[in-house]
């Protein structure tokens, strides 16, 4: 691994060097080589793209989960071909990303042939950002939508106590003259990882993000993490979308709802054991001008009304910067990662 | 038509009586009998269910649009069978509801066979609530999602000027021991019809709903309607979803974006000329316990954390009340409707 110390307290690594270091960590904590590579690349990509709450920040959580025996790092996903547009995967208590990788070629084939296809992953653990699951489909000229439920930490609008997970929705679509249009949004007012990061830094959150253990509004991230809960974004509308994510990602896959799993016998477990749904559409079946040209026109018009930043723009800027100059991590983080890798 | 005057200034009609009155209005303004029946039942159902912003309140808009020659009330939709999971309809400048009705049997057949199917409607006018388009699929045991774009009146988050429509998302799912779970939410902070109703009543809106013609925040519904614009719900997240609706309902159907049609030569035209997308999934293809039992369990747990009202509950309560006691309208409205029907 080549790490260049560029200034006091910080190190710069190439994407491959970071992915390789993370792969060693996963392998050393009992995953198969397939799972190690998939998760390492996923996590390094989030760090590369500036999505720090889903980058190397997640590694200690992965490690403690693997140590706890909660997840099977050796699981081999079982793909079930149910109908011309319907695929299922039993992730067998393993991670969701290798389950998606196993089904991906057939999913793309079905989407191109039927015009639309759905992938229902169950019995899976998703601990990463969701956009890396949809973005690759857009590079293939396809439109993709994915939802994943997580763990009880969001109070449904109008309820007293938490029930839903942060339940993100991610979407990707190709466009003619630029990077795909991609967004990934938690249906909670704030992502759980961002609350953890704020707690670590001792920062207050903006108002309206969460409640304390008594159900009272709070801006203290620690009060949210210690017995409190998050609120949905956008009031009853975000809450309805979060409910939809529970139905699609759990009820429609055969996975657990966010409130159904019990990890109390696995201290250190951090990864929600739920389900994930992906819908992939082939826009070449649509009428009229090519989809990618139409989406390009929408982007052009969005810029025309004064929008400077599209969803995903910051990620692409960070990605370019990282590809050019490398990924910068502080020395303490690097040392921690090396120790976990046994280096 | 039987209308019972129940107290001073109000009349009560049965659903059939209201639908029949509305049908006469559509027929008298040049629609085919098929279109008249479809739109009349849709509009009467909204009124019956207490969705007043999409009930008889919409009739003058339908009438002025038909008079303007903007929409073809006689259009016969053309269904195109593209792939095992992909259907298209050219609504031929007619209304979206007859286009959906024409494609519905084949859409259900495809969803049951392929596991998922998509219906892409283009060249269509949607001036109604969206939940009536998805709810019937849930009664067939299917899960349905629909999006429709409308007309430029929402400022994308971070932009200066409006571009998107109110772009609603509607979802319906069956459940074992009760009415389907159904929601229909505008991705704008408030529905356009509700702004019009508030303007009519001279009421102020809650903060955060819209801006005036100078782009400044305002609570005055008239300032929003006269050169102002709406904001998306939930900041950048609602804005991203609204963008997704443009892509799915217009780019993926071959329909117009919300900013693409020009009705300036048709004074009185009110119906956006865009597109609509429906995705229908057969949950019997899912693994595990039946979907309807799982969704019932989610509802049970939502009540368990203190949620008193589910999305759609108010609609079902209003529907029961209307079915029992009839639909109440004020005498002025009834007189107006009768005049439009030529009675």
Residues 6+ apart with CB under 8 A from B271: B61, B62, B65, B70, B71, B95, B125, B126, B127
Residue A3 has pLDDT above 70, yes or no: no
- Chain A with chain B: Cβ pairs closer than 8 A: 238
Question: Above 90 in pLDDT, residue B176?
Answer: yes
- The reported pLDDT for the residue numbered A8 is 61
Residue B11 sits in a domain whose CATH number is 1.10.1530.10
Would you name the residues of B annotated as active-site residues?
53-54, 194
Question: What is the pLDDT confidence band of residue A2, given thresholds at 50, 70 and 90?
Answer: very low
Q: Mark whether A213 is an active-site residue.
A: no
A288 is written with which tokens? 């009229």
Residue B135: name the closest of B126, B147, B127, B143 by CA: B143
Using a 10 angstrom Cβ sphere, with 0-12 exposed, 13-18 middle and 19 or more buried, the burial of residue B319 is middle
Residue B256 sits in the same domain as residue B177: yes
Angstroms from B33 CA to nearest CA on chain A: 28
Place of tokens 């409607």: B121
The sheet carrying B327-330 orders its strands as B3-7, B10-13, B327-330
B5 pLDDT above the threshold of 70: no
The verdict on a CB contact (< 8 Å) between B234 and A236 is no
Confidence at B19, pLDDT banded by 50, 70, 90: very high
Residue of B nearest to A244 (CA): B171
Annotated catalytic residue, options A20, A29, A54, A258: A54
Tens-place pLDDT, residues A186-219: 999 998 888 998 999 999 999 999 999 999 999 9
Residues 65-84 of chain A whose Cβ lies under 8 A from any Cβ of chain B = 80, 82-84
Please, which residues 173-212 of chain B have a Cβ atom closer than 8 Å to chain A? 173, 181, 183, 185
Q: Is A252 on the interface with B (CB under 8 A)?
A: yes
Query: Cβ of B285 and A159 within 8 Å?
Result: no
Residue B43 shares a structural domain with residue B163: no
* Claim to verify: residue B142 and residue B288 sit in the same structural domain: yes
Q: What percent of chain A has pLDDT over 70?
A: 98
* Tokens coding A114: 């039927």
A86 and B116: CB-CB below 8 Å? yes
CB within 8 Å: A288 and B117: no
Please indicate, yes or no, whether residues B218 and B155 belong to a single structural domain of this protein.
no
Instruction: Count the residues in chain B.
Output: 343
Contact residues, chain B, for A289 at CB < 8 Å = 254
* Per-residue pLDDT tens digits for A77-119: 999 999 999 999 999 999 999 999 999 999 999 999 999 999 9
Q: How confident is the model at residue A6 (pLDDT cuts 50, 70, 90)?
A: low
CA closest to A117 among chain B residues: B116
Distance to chain A for B314, nearest Cα, Å:
14
Provide the 10 A C-beta neighbour count for residue B190: 21
> 3-class DSSP state for residue B149?
coil
Does residue A62 sit in the same domain as residue A88? no
Which of B175, B204, B231 terminates a domain? The answer is: B231
- Asked whether residue B59 falls in the same domain as residue B118, the answer is no
Share of chain B above pLDDT 90, in %: 93
Compute the distance between CA of residue A287 and CA of residue A325 in angstroms, rounded to an integer: 43
Option in A86, A282, A306 nearest B285 (CB): A86
pLDDT at A329 over 70: yes
Where on the phi/psi map is residue B145: left (φ > 0), alpha (ψ -120 to 50), or beta?
Answer: beta
Long-range contacts from B189-194, C-beta under 8 angstroms, 24+ separation: B189/B230, B189/B231, B189/B232, B189/B233, B189/B238, B190/B230, B191/B53, B191/B166, B192/B150, B192/B153, B192/B166, B192/B230, B193/B53, B193/B54, B193/B57, B193/B58, B194/B53
Indicate if B109 and B153 belong to the same structural domain. yes
Q: Could you tell me if A45 and A93 lie in one domain?
A: no
Residue A268 pLDDT level (bands cut at 50, 70, 90): very high
CATH number assigned to the domain comprising residue B225: 3.30.60.50
Do A281 and B252 make contact, defined as CB atoms within 8 angstroms? yes
Residue range B173-191: mean pLDDT, rounded: 95
- Indicate if B30 and B115 belong to the same structural domain: no
Clarify whether residues B19 and B33 are in a common domain: yes
Report pLDDT digits (tens) over B89-120: 999 999 999 999 999 999 999 999 999 999 99
Write out the H or E segment, with its range, that includes residue B83.
strand B78-83
| CB atoms B237 and A234 under 8 Å | yes
Distance CA A252, CA B281 (A): 9
Q: Which two tokens stand for residue A17?
A: 């060097």
pLDDT in tens, A163-191: 999 999 999 999 999 999 999 999 999 98
A21 and A136 belong to one structural domain: no
CB contact under 8 A, A84 and B161: no
- Chain B residues whose CB is inside 8 A of the A117 CB are 85, 116
Per the structure, the complete domain to which residue A200 belongs is given by: 189-230
Q: How does DSSP classify residue A205?
A: P
> How far is the alpha carbon of B32 from chain A, nearest alpha carbon, in Å?
26
Q: What is the pLDDT of residue B45?
A: 97
Interchain pair B238, A240: CB under 8 A: no
Q: Coil, helix or strand for B36?
A: helix
Residues 265-294 of chain A with CB under 8 A from chain B are 279, 281-283, 285-289, 291, 294
Q: Report the DSSP pairing between strands B273-281 and B116-125.
A: antiparallel
**pLDDT value, residue B75:** 98
CB–CB contact A113 B155 (8 Å): no
By CB neighbour count within 10 A (0-12 exposed, 13-18 middle, 19+ buried), where does A324 fall? exposed
Do B198 and B326 reside in the same domain of the chain? no
| Overall number of domains in chain A | 3
Which residues, numbered 30 to 59 in chain B, qualify as contacts with chain A under a Cβ-Cβ cut-off of 8 Å?
Answer: none
Among the candidates B178, B206, B231, a domain finishes at: B231
């Amino acid at each position: 691994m080549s790490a260049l110390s560029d200034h006091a307290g910080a190190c710069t690594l190439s994407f491959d060097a970071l992915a390789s270091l993370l792969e060693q960590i996963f392998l050393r904590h009992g995953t198969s080589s397939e799972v190690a590579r998939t998760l390492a690349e996923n996590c390094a990509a989030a760090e590369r793209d500036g999505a720090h709450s889903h980058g190397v920040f997640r590694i200690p959580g992965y490690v403690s989960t693997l140590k706890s025996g909660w997840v099977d790092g050796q699981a081999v996903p079982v793909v079930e071909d149910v109908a011309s547009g319907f695929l299922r995967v039993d992730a067998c208590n393993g991670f969701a990303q290798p389950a998606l990788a196993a089904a991906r070629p057939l999913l793309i084939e079905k989407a191109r042939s039927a015009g639309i296809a759905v992938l229902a992953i169950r019995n899976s653990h998703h601990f990463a950002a969701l956009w890396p699951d949809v973005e690759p489909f857009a590079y293939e000229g396809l439109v993709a939508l994915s939802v994943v439920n997580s763990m009880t930490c969001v109070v449904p609008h109008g309820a007293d106590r938490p029930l839903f997970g942060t339940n993100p929705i991610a979407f990707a679509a190709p466009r003619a003259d630029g990077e795909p249009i991609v967004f990934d949004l938690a249906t909670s007012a704030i992502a759980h990882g961002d609350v953890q990061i704020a707690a670590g830094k001792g920062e207050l959150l903006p108002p309206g993000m969460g409640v304390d253990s008594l159900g009272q509004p709070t801006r203290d991230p620690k009060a949210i993490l210690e017995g409190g809960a998050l609120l949905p974004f956008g009031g009853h509308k975000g809450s309805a979308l979060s409910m939809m994510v529970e139905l699609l990602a759990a009820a429609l896959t055969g996975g657990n709802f966010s409130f159904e799993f019990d990890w109390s016998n696995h201290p250190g477990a951090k990864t929600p054991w739920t389900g994930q749904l992906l819908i992939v559409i082939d826009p070449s079946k649509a009428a009229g001008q090519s989809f990618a040209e139409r989406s390009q026109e929408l982007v052009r018009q969005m810029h025309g009304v004064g929008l400077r930043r599209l969803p995903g723009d910051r990620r692409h800027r960070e990605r370019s910067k990282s590809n050019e100059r490398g990924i910068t991590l502080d020395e303490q983080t690097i040392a921690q990662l090396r120790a976990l890798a046994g280096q």
